A and B are shown apart, each in its own frame.
Chain A
Amino acid sequence: MLRLTLAQMRRSIGRLVAAGVAIVIGTAFVAATLIAGNVITQTTNDSIAAQYADADLVVSAPDYLTPDDVDALEGVEGVDAVEPVQLTYLDLQHGAKRVFQMAVPAPSDPRFEALEVVEGSLPSAAGQVALPEDVAERLGVAVGGTVTSSRNVWDAAAPDGGTYEEVRDRLTVVGTTDDPYGAYAQMGGAAVVAREDLVAWESAQATPDDPERTYSAAMVGLAPGTELETARAAIGAQAPADAKAVTPAEHAQEQARQLTGDRDVFTFVILGFAAVALLVAALVIANTFQVLVAQRTRTLALLRAVGADKRQLARSVLTEATILGVVSSVGGILLGGLLTQVALLVARGATWACRSRRRSP
């Protein structure tokens, strides 16, 4: 009976292919949408998690952590290293080139290193900076060269009762970095400066009315052999009541959920179009099979005459539809995956193109 079904399919291959194409397009659409959605979510997750490098836990509070909170974390048993998440903006100049660059402090522990050093090293003393490779190229500065950093300092002794004054520092470029996991990709990369510089600049900029320095989160590295859950509980007992200690992956997921709320709506809209495509495919299939059965009236009548019962014939048509559906759906999923891959490659190619454009003078 299966042989008969297959033989019938071979005879109607043209019509079946037409219906199959409709299914392939529909499923490819759905598959591509879902895969792309997943890739976007995953990429967002990964890049957020990448900021925390190999930290074991991320401690965050709904409003903020005070420096005292951070210091308290260091006293928790099993905690090996603590580093508050901190960033600032630099106004860097070299010759006629000027770049506004986000900057993070040099990590106090190798576990917190989110960037990879390409050349030279990360800053180990005040007055040093490590630049992202492309930023260094844009400024036309090499390792060993210097850049000028302009910043504002609050001068409380000024005659009119306090004002900002511009101060220029010379920073030595000690290294260039790469951001292989896209930790700071969404912020245009990150320069690295010595923590003492960053703290000094921030306090110099602060007016007496500014609130105390706070942190959104702190990274925690655990001593070897410390159980994650034990440390989590210990930190929970020590940190402010509303603070949470989560793994970087969990933290990233939560952040990504807040970020991608809109993207989910976007996915649903595309899936709406996909539903239309699938509905059209369903109509095409129904129509195809109506035509096929009508075309085969003679054959079906003959089969009835030589002893086929109605159920056998119905089963044959259903088998045919199932084979068509499965084969086309698998094809559609493969096509959808392929399209997504191509789209990702094209997107990556566009990024490269951007970079190389920036590199050219």
Chain B
Amino acid sequence: MHALDGVDVDFARGHFTAIMGPSGSGKSTLMHLLAGLDSATSGHAFLGDTDVTRLDDTALTRLRRDRVGFVFQSFNLLPMFTAEQNITLPVELAGGTVDRAWFDTLVSTLGLGQRLTHRPSELSGGQQQRVAIARALIAAPEVVFADEPTGNLDSRAGAEVLSFLRRSVRELGRTIIMVTHDPTAAAYADRVVLIADGRIAGDIADPTPESVLAGLDALRTLDVADDATTATTAPAGTGTGAVRA
């Protein structure tokens, strides 16, 4: 029983990286460690030069406020706020003023211009997730973590959301790290990191659905062989993850 293990991985700035792996491989744990949502029992996670695992609660709050954005599987919009209010929420919480130019850029890139006054209940799943992406990007964070962002969407809406994520990286210069178990979704990324049993089991640059599937298949055969011969007993949460320039 180990929630992640000997991970050692870098994520490049300005790239769209997908983390893949079978259930229980530790991909969500890895992301939570990187984002400072979970604390590591040992090892380090860096965002730029900041060791996220060494920050106290106040510093973590500031980190989440200024340097990190989140997109969740279940959207997590505030139902009583309009789309615009949801998007600007992080800035409001930080007590800052909304950069209107950046807001307009986000809204037009994500195609939300007609939806700003609508509440989440009046939006489709895909639209809600686009609002969530805009919210994650409004403070222009150094990195956006997306946890199964297409998990609750049908394939068409999912494809739409993924191409918006890719556009955010290509056109707006953002950095996105996405956890997914869907090879098609992973293929939208610039790079796919495969994780199995808390270890890096593969690294695919410029992935296609086919190359990702092939990588996963290789992983599965590896698993069978592994299970027969090794029993890993390293402490939970060990390893080093980093997002570097």
Among the stretches B78-86, B104-112, B193-201, the one at the interface with A is B78-86
Neighbouring A residues of B115 by C-beta, 8 Å: none
A309 close to B80 (CB less than 8 A) = no
**A7 CB-CB contact with B under 8 Å:** yes
Among the stretches B14-22, B63-71, B149-157, B169-177, the one at the interface with A is B63-71
A 289-311 contacts with B by CB, 8 A: 298-299, 302-310
A1 close to B64 (CB less than 8 A) = no
**B37 CB-CB contact with A under 8 Å:** yes
**B93 CB-CB contact with A under 8 Å:** yes
Rounded to whole angstroms, the CA-CA distance of A349 and B225 in the bound complex is 97
Query: Of B57, B69, B70, B78, which one neighbours A7 at CB under 8 angstroms?
Result: B78
B139 close to A307 (CB less than 8 A) = yes
Rounded to whole angstroms, the CA-CA distance of A94 and B30 in the bound complex is 107
A298 close to B76 (CB less than 8 A) = yes
Neighbouring B residues of A11 by C-beta, 8 Å: 79-80
Rounded to whole angstroms, the CA-CA distance of A3 and B58 in the bound complex is 24
Identity of the chain B residue whose Cβ is nearest the Cβ of A306 in the assembled complex: B90
Rounded to whole angstroms, the CA-CA distance of A10 and B76 in the bound complex is 19
Rounded to whole angstroms, the CA-CA distance of A307 and B61 in the bound complex is 6
B78 close to A299 (CB less than 8 A) = yes
Rounded to whole angstroms, the CA-CA distance of A278 and B82 in the bound complex is 38
Neighbouring A residues of B94 by C-beta, 8 Å: 307
**B89 CB-CB contact with A under 8 Å:** yes
The distance from the CB of B176 to the nearest CB of chain A, in whole angstroms, is 16
Known A7-B78, A7-B80, A10-B80; judge A303-B85 contact (CB<8 A). Answer: no
* Chain B residue total in the interface (Cβ 8 A): 23
The main secondary structure of chain B at its interface with chain A is helix
Identity of the chain B residue whose Cβ is nearest the Cβ of A6 in the assembled complex: B80
Rounded to whole angstroms, the CA-CA distance of A140 and B200 in the bound complex is 113
Query: Of B61, B69, B70, which one neighbours A309 at CB under 8 angstroms?
Result: B61
**B51 CB-CB contact with A under 8 Å:** no
**B135 CB-CB contact with A under 8 Å:** yes
**B92 CB-CB contact with A under 8 Å:** yes
**A322 CB-CB contact with B under 8 Å:** no
Query: Of A302, A304, A307, A310, which one neighbours B66 at CB under 8 angstroms?
Result: A307
A3 close to B70 (CB less than 8 A) = no
In the A-B complex, the 8 residue pairs with the smallest Cβ-Cβ separation, listed nearest first, are A307-B65, A7-B80, A309-B61, A306-B90, A308-B93, A302-B76, A307-B93, A307-B90
